[in-house]
Amino acid sequence: VGAPAGYGVRDEKTMDLAAYPIWTGTGFQTVEGKVHMASSATPEDKTFSRLEVQRSLDEAVKALGGVQIANSEAPNPAIDELPQTLRSDMNLGLMIIYGNPISAYVIRRPDKTIW
């Protein structure tokens, strides 16, 4: 399972041993570990579809055993409490955090939990 046909990845970024806030539906929980972020590249002959990309990502995470724990909009005051650098990083990926629902998944493995 991958990106929808024609879409690509650009501005890929990995942060090793980062502490990163994950929206849980009721608040942000900080998790530590490797964080992967990327923005999408839209084919020249196609209009970007956030819904198409989100559905594809959701299916990919579910195929890996992910269970959705949140799909809701974070209130602006909760977002505003995050450091500016994190808000900027979050907006560089697919997760435009202001005014949009945030999906969060967890994958539980015997040796660790992956958010």
How many domains does one find in the chain? 1
The answer to whether position 109 is within a domain reads yes
Q: Which residue has the tokens 């005051």?
A: 77
Per the structure, the complete domain to which residue 63 belongs is given by 8-114
Q: For CA atoms 99, 26, 12, 49, give the dihedral sign.
A: negative
Quick one: tokens of 101? Answer: 């629902």
For the entire predicted model, the pTM comes to: 0.65
The answer to whether position 50 is within a domain reads yes
Rounded to 5°, angle at Cα 70 from 115 and 43: 75
Q: Give the pLDDT of residue 10.
A: 72
Tens of pLDDT, residues 55-65: 888 888 888 88
Tens of pLDDT, residues 13-29: 777 767 778 888 898 88
